[in-house]
Structure 1
Amino acid sequence: MRQSAAPAAPVRARPLPTSIRTRSSFIALPVSASAWPREIRRLDRGGGKEKVQALTEQRDRAARAFSQGLAHGGAGRHDLALECFQEATEHDANHVAARFNLALVLRHLGRRTEAVGMLRTILDRIPDQPDTLFCLAGALNELGDYPAALAHLLQLEKIAPRHPGLDEALGLALLRAEAPWQAEAPLRRAIVQDPAAATTLNNLGAAFMAQRRPADAERLYRRATIMDDTVPAYRKNLGVSELLQGKLVSGFRHYEARREQAIWGSNRSFPGIPEWRGEAIAGRTILIYFEQGLGDTIQFVRYLAVLKARGARTIFLCQPELVALLAGVAGIDHLMTDGDPLPDFDCHTSLMSVPDRLARRFRPFRAAFPISARSRTLRAGGPIASRATAFALASIGRRADRNGPFPLKRWLRSPRSRACASTACNPNLPLSAMRLPSSAS
């Protein structure tokens, strides 16, 4: 069988739907509630009965269109709701409730920039209106304007600190602003308001992880998993928190849930060839493919030697940047990259799933792998220390994730690769001392 190794296509997460509000009392005092009667009384005193009748009919048409829009929105007919709310605003330009619901529908339909503009016109008419501030912060967050979203939430906290959903949204906004200590208080309040909210438990766990409190995060992730074990993110995050504490067996088992997430782009399929689940491997050829970043590959490639010791023939599909470094590594029978023709193999699995598949009791193990004589010298950087490379690439994983792929060759030429050698050459450096993938929801 000859196949071509194609890179895994990333899967983008779909945005969560925005609920349509189906009640008309969310605006405390719509402008139309006071403007229309005053205008009618003024015309009536002036003897303009025909104008009064015309305005009354126009108001009634706006009210009917608004009611129809609420009915369509509540039933999920968002296109029809959009038309009705637009008609209501055409008949009554001061109908703030119609404008607000129109913004909700636009946001739901993905027209967030238009929704933001509509919400800002409402704030021009009614400054500090709580529902409008909250909805505007949500739309700005979806557009990626996190500082502006946080500013509106902080403004809302001053005028309506008990607004529904504020604590959860404020906590998440503070997390995005890299302020996990400030995010803890609103997220704790959100849990008090709804102790059974698994999502809130997961978010507070993320704040604890950012504070480097994996034990506290583990407790929350475990509660979230018990409340709703159908969400893979909760189990994956639980695994990360356990791994950071050195609980490797249960940590790797829970970390497998990452592959169930819709946003995960590292899964690969090979039609007709089964995935290895930990069964006997002696005498079989297994394809192991890389997952995530360069540092992850360097940390986990050591497990191929364990597979080799169990009688397997190993094929490793790695990133192009690591070919020179991994050439001759013990445990790899055949090294290749994406685009190379695949030889025949009997089963496959992801590199970072190998520890769980082996299902053995872990002890602290070496942080690096043996490098052969011919791979000790790289053209880009000259002699290097393998343990230093592993330690450094793992340590800068967070920065590399934010800034894109890490330039391995450029790093090997930098003084940093030599500066970390004294720390990284500890032969018994445990996995818990290394940087592991951060918990993403």
Structure 2
Amino acid sequence: MKTVHELLGQGKLDKAISLCESQCQRYGDKYPEPWITLAAIHNKCGRNQQALSCLQMGIKKNPQSAELCTQAAILCQKAGKLDAARSYYMKSLENEANQPVVHFNLGITYLQEDNLLEAEKCFQQTVALNPEHAAAHANLAYALRMQKKFDRAQVHYDHALRLLPDNLEILFNRSINLSSSGKLAEAEESYRRVLKLNPQHAQAMNALGVVLSNQGRHAEAENIIRQALSLRSDDAKFYSNLGMILTRQGNMDQAIEKFEMALKLAPNDAGCHFKYALTLLLLGNFERGWEEYKWRLKVPGWQARITSSPLVDLSNIKGKTVFIYAEQGLGDSIQFIRYLRLLKELGAYVIFEPQPKLMELFSSYRYIDKLIEQGSAIPEFDFQAPLLNLPGLFGSNINSIPADIPYLYPPSQPDDPVIDACLPESSSAFRIGIVWAGSPSCLHDQIRSCPSTLFSELGHIPQVELYSLQKGVPSSDLKQLQDLCPVIDLATNFTNFTNTASAISRLDLVISVDTAMAHLAGALGCPVWLVVNTAVEWRWLLQREDSPWYPSMRLFCQQQSGDWTTPFKQMKKCLLEMPPIPDTVN
């Protein structure tokens, strides 16, 4: 092959091709090199199909050649023929298993096909064969992050950065992983490292702004996203994020303006539509808000559970089977299950698939014909919809929300002796259940959760007894509060939402931040005081002390971001102003 390369070096392309073809005929059934060289020449000249044909012929002559299969795979991958590329890469690995580059390329092919699990396996094999393969660590981290395996992803992002410490792309993606996993302080530090390396990195500015806002630092967030827009004034996502931050600060007119600018730049951006929907719903503009809210199902990572079957058609629902499935959080399911009653009243047969933790609680809801577990076979149906499509489908507005409570009930005969012992049916105390934190996996949990110790002022009010309903947080949170006032821990006895409902039904009041527990108390018709931060959640609307969703709910709102003392002072005042508690409360 030396002569071929000499001819190529002299620019004698035709003679090089002729000689190479001759060598393929003479030696091509013994050696893969002539075919690889001839394919490379054709590829360099832009004759990609001829190049692939050479390699295919070479593979026929040398079926055990890993390199021929690899080169054919690379050509197919570049041409977008991913099925063929995958097949050739796998054939190459059959011939020679320990090829880290081929495992890596196959992983990239799987990523292009959105097959994250297989991509993960390929990159895992790559780093096992070559631990110093920085790109494999970075792509493995990406595949893990997109599967929400954030902790494992972090390990590989950090490994990649040890190999390439100043790689902006890896550092930026590492920052995304930290923010996606709710590690906001670490994400902030990581984004600032990106900006130290590149002060003009507009995407990092935008992402940092979101992280700051999710920590309640809205003014800082607004400032840095405006800096990002000064660098890239045509980015719809920057305008959309600015709109969300302005909403959290109560600047509604400016927020709407930014959302409209975002949608003018990117009319089909699902994320922009979704954030716009949240602000419209917050403002009580339900008609337009529900329409925009449909876009959530097109946001990456939030696709509809089923797309091949027709959505619910209310005009043709009588006698039809309707499959409704849960989406989003536990609180969302508790809040919106009420709409299944409306489907039943129109004559539908209702199948509902909730989250596993809610199966037992919803088993007694009389407007469900069939309750099925997630992951089980779905019975035949005529129409389907995600649960949160139903309010828009029924045209709900503030005045027409179905708010007959209670619509969920505790078991008629609780059988938990521990709860019976802690909460006898009669008591001379005023019993308050408390919740101070939501799920740590929620990106804005840091601004909706409050310090547990704030409840101590309420615990010292005469005749008040505090009962912790809090789950999913470090035990030290409760211990800090118990050091300040007596608190009985009920949550350790909860195994599901059914016995939680039994406990709540025996309390006189529930005080909670914005969590599923508040929804459960509201659905049970129990008095509930909701402590709301300034970064308002759309369902609680603006400047209200009540909720059209739950008539037994009262809202206590922050006046400034991060200021929990004001709502707690208001609640203490309300408790002190209550009439004297009778000797026995039933």
Q: TM-score, normalised by structure 2?
A: 0.44
Q: Residue 419 of structure 1: SS of its match in structure 2?
A: strand
Equivalent position of 2:299 in the other structure: 261
> Structure 1 residue aligned with 2:510, among 419, 427, 439?
419
Give the residue type in structure 1 aligned to 2:172.
G
Unaligned runs of 5+ residues in structure 1 are 1-75, 83-101, 121-131, 384-391, 436-441
> Structure 2 residue aligned with 1:138, among 146, 152, 172?
172
Equivalent position of 1:408 in the other structure: 497
Give the residue type in structure 2 aligned to 1:429.
S
Give the residue type in structure 1 aligned to 2:266.
D
Instruction: Provide Cα deviations, 1:131-163, integer angstroms capped at 9, x if missing partner.
Output: x59667525415538645634654786898666
Q: Structure 1 residue 233 and structure 2 residue 293: aligned?
A: no
Q: Which moved more, 1:369-378 or 1:204-213?
A: 369-378
Q: 1:331 Cα shift?
A: 3.1
Q: Residue 385 of structure 2: SS of its match in structure 1?
A: strand
Alpha-carbon distance in 2 for matches of 1:372, 1:146: 36
Alpha-carbon distance in 1 for matches of 2:500, 2:408: 21
Q: Residue 264 of structure 1: SS of its match in structure 2?
A: coil
Q: 1:322 Cα shift?
A: 2.9
Instruction: Provide Cα deviations, 1:361-395, integer angstroms capped at 9, x if missing partner.
Output: 55253556444778455556679xxxxxxxx9999
Counterparts of 1:311-322 in structure 2 under 5 Å?
A: 311-322=347-358
Q: 1:309 Cα shift?
A: 2.3
Aligned residues: 320
Instruction: Provide Cα deviations, 1:32-80, integer angstroms capped at 9, x if missing partner.
Output: xxxxxxxxxxxxxxxxxxxxxxxxxxxxxxxxxxxxxxxxxxxx99x89
Q: 1:108 Cα shift?
A: 7.1
Q: Residue 316 of structure 2: SS of its match in structure 1?
A: coil
Query: In 2 relative to 1, CA 213–323 (structure 1 residues): closer, same or farther, beyond 3 Å?
Result: farther
Alpha-carbon distance in 1 for matches of 2:434, 2:380: 32
Q: Residue 329 of structure 1: SS of its match in structure 2?
A: coil
Query: In 2 relative to 1, CA 112–159 (structure 1 residues): closer, same or farther, beyond 3 Å?
Result: closer
Counterparts of 1:190-201 in structure 2 under 5 Å?
A: 190-201=228-239
Alpha-carbon RMSD across the aligned residues, in angstroms, is 4.9
Q: Residue 328 of structure 2: SS of its match in structure 1?
A: coil
Equivalent position of 1:288 in the other structure: 324
Instruction: Provide Cα deviations, 1:384-432, integer angstroms capped at 9, x if missing partner.
Output: xxxxxxxx9999666574669x963575447989424434699983249
Q: Which moved more, 1:424-433 or 1:193-202?
A: 424-433
Name which one, 1 or 2, has greater alpha-carbon Rg. Answer: 2
Q: Which moved more, 1:251-260 or 1:370-379?
A: 370-379
Instruction: Provide Cα deviations, 1:225-246, integer angstroms capped at 9, x if missing partner.
Output: 2221222111111112222222
Equivalent position of 1:429 in the other structure: 547
> Structure 2 residue aligned with 1:307, among 335, 343, 363?
343
Alpha-carbon distance in 1 for matches of 2:545, 2:226: 41
* Cα contact 1:367–1:427 (8 A) shared by 2: no
Q: 1:198 Cα shift?
A: 0.4
* Cα contact 1:266–1:291 (8 A) shared by 2: no
Q: Which moved more, 1:176-185 or 1:294-303?
A: 176-185
* Cα contact 1:287–1:347 (8 A) shared by 2: yes
Give the residue type in structure 2 aligned to 1:419.
V
Q: 1:211 Cα shift?
A: 4.3
* Cα contact 1:146–1:177 (8 A) shared by 2: yes
Unaligned runs of 5+ residues in structure 2 are 1-77, 80-100, 105-132, 142-155, 424-432, 446-471, 474-494, 512-525, 531-543, 556-586
Q: 1:165 Cα shift?
A: 5.4
Instruction: Provide Cα deviations, 1:276-296, integer angstroms capped at 9, x if missing partner.
Output: 244421222212222222211
Counterparts of 1:24-43 in structure 2 under 5 Å?
A: none
Alpha-carbon distance in 1 for matches of 2:197, 2:327: 47
Identity of aligned residues (%): 22
Q: TM-score, normalised by structure 1?
A: 0.56
Query: In 2 relative to 1, CA 226–375 (structure 1 residues): closer, same or farther, beyond 3 Å?
Result: farther
Query: In 2 relative to 1, CA 319–146 (structure 1 residues): closer, same or farther, beyond 3 Å?
Result: closer
Q: Residue 233 of structure 2: SS of its match in structure 1?
A: coil
Q: Residue 355 of structure 1: SS of its match in structure 2?
A: helix
Query: In 2 relative to 1, CA 315–204 (structure 1 residues): closer, same or farther, beyond 3 Å?
Result: same
Query: In 2 relative to 1, CA 409–364 (structure 1 residues): closer, same or farther, beyond 3 Å?
Result: same
Equivalent position of 2:5 in the other structure: none
Alpha-carbon distance in 1 for matches of 2:363, 2:190: 54
Q: Which moved more, 1:286-295 or 1:159-168?
A: 159-168
Alpha-carbon distance in 2 for matches of 1:374, 1:118: 57
Query: In 2 relative to 1, CA 323–205 (structure 1 residues): closer, same or farther, beyond 3 Å?
Result: same
Alpha-carbon distance in 2 for matches of 1:159, 1:343: 55
Q: 1:317 Cα shift?
A: 2.4
Alpha-carbon distance in 1 for matches of 2:137, 2:375: 43
Alpha-carbon distance in 1 for matches of 2:290, 2:248: 20
